Amino acid sequence: MQLDKKLKAFVRYDGSERIVPGSLILRKNKPKVGNWKQVSSNYCCDGIGISYTPSSLSIANVDLTLTCSSGKSIVVNTNTASTNMVTLLAALNASAGYLGVFTSPDGATVNFVVNTSVASTLCYGATLSFSIA
């Protein structure tokens, strides 16, 4: 939750254009050193929420597939193994956090709040879903 409306949220990207885990900061201006990009700072109210219940939390290589009913999709390979909900959410947020925020309200279901800009670009006027394998 953003407390000061003047502050903007920024994340740092590494040389491979992946978000650096733990790099989210709130500032008035983008930092001058490093590859920083502005992201939404109000995920509670800026996005489309969808849910998925994985058949197993023990996954050798976590892959996320975000699919639109019109046929378009995005596949993110995290190159990370999962043994429980904590490691699954960590893998998803580290590798696919630029798409939105992953949480689990009950330890069995994965909630995904997709950034509005991602949802409208991928799937304007259609239905989004996601799966984890």
The whole-number pLDDT of residue 91 equals 92
- Would you report the helix, strand and coil content of the chain in percent, each value rounded to 5? 15, 35, 50
CB 9 within 8 A of CB 26: yes
The whole-number pLDDT of residue 46 equals 59
The whole-number pLDDT of residue 2 equals 43
The whole-number pLDDT of residue 9 equals 82
The whole-number pLDDT of residue 1 equals 42
The whole-number pLDDT of residue 4 equals 62
Cα torsion 32, 36, 37, 42 to 10°: value is -100
What distances in angstroms separate CA 116 from CA 5, 40, 47, 81, 132, one per listed residue? 19, 9, 5, 28, 21
Using 50 as the pLDDT threshold, list the residues of the chain that sit under it.
1-2, 43-44
DSSP 87: H
Helices assigned H by DSSP within 1-133: 85-96, 116-123
The whole-number pLDDT of residue 3 equals 54
The whole-number pLDDT of residue 126 equals 75
